[in-house]
Amino acid sequence: MPKKILLASAEKDFLDRVEGFFGREEFVLLRAHNAPEALRLIEDEDPALAFVAQHLPPDGGDAFCRRIKKDFLLRRTRVILLVQGADEDSERCRESGADAIVALPADWTTLLDSSRRLLDLPDPGRLAPRAALRVPLRYRRLPAGEFECGSTVNLSTGGLFLESEVLYPRDSRLELVLDLSSCQGPLLSVTARVAWINHPEWMRKAQLPWGMGLELLDLSLQDLARLESLVSQFLSSSPDKPAGAF
């Protein structure tokens, strides 16, 4: 059964962005713009997880969290309190009873890792089907690196392996622009994190060339669907072709 996730914030842009990460078939998303709406949804829908903004009207996310955690029937909903950087260490946030506190602007890797931990879910990127697809792309290190050209060795909705002699440290953020013109339409732009490195002096995966295993961080629902379609089509037409691992 799909898990229910509550998104409680007065900021529509933030709700839209979080929904882009969790709006998949394994989740049912619920939206609330204030504390009374959020309370009603928790009472009626019993979500497994709630993202609650610290500035949730009328009294703040920390007050809402304390109310939930003091209720014997509602307290089983896990709560991630989303705070502005200056509020992260405030006493009222620490004493709210939240299961996790994440500072905004959010590092999406941290947000997703916290969510998976509280929901007891595996990393979807590691389990996503991979296809041994060669897709040309341009990439650069953020925030202001120069673009380099390269190609994928394998690809999934969770990540890819980038063949490259230009290697960046683990956890570096990269901007990728994948050229899907030959199969799935226009360019696809996405942010990625360097998860691991295949360096010529320490080859972690000998079957792969020099390069980097990348985790995709901010796929929109539309781009996620494009990658799912691309990978599925490739695997259905080449079921025995090995995909390696990113």
Domains of the chain, earliest start first: 3-121 (3.40.50.2300), 127-237 (2.40.10.220)
Q: What is the dihedral of CA 182, 188, 191, 194, to 10 degrees?
A: 0
pLDDT higher than 60, residue 60: yes
What pLDDT is stored for residue 82 in this prediction? 87
What pLDDT is stored for residue 223 in this prediction? 80
Q: Which residues contact 234 (CB under 8 A, 6 or more apart)?
A: 131, 132, 133
* Cα(216)–Cα(198) distance, integer angstroms: 18
Q: What's the residue count for the chain?
A: 246
Choice between 217 and 150, residue whose per-residue pLDDT is larger: 150
pLDDT higher than 80, residue 1: no
Q: Look over the chain and give the mean of its residue pLDDT values, rounded to a whole number.
A: 82
pLDDT higher than 90, residue 175: yes
pTM for this one? 0.53
Task: Please tell me the least confidently modeled range out of 21-35, 112-126, 197-211.
Answer: 112-126
CB 10, CB 55: distance < 8 Å:
yes
Choice between 186 and 193, residue whose per-residue pLDDT is larger: 193
pLDDT higher than 90, residue 168: yes
pLDDT higher than 90, residue 246: no
CB 43, CB 76: distance < 8 Å:
no
* Residue pLDDT, tens place only, 213-232: 999 887 776 787 788 888 88
What pLDDT is stored for residue 46 in this prediction? 94
What pLDDT is stored for residue 7 in this prediction? 92
pLDDT higher than 80, residue 161: yes
| pLDDT grade for 130, boundaries at 50, 70 and 90 | confident
Q: Which residues contact 28 (CB under 8 A, 6 or more apart)?
A: 2, 3, 4, 5
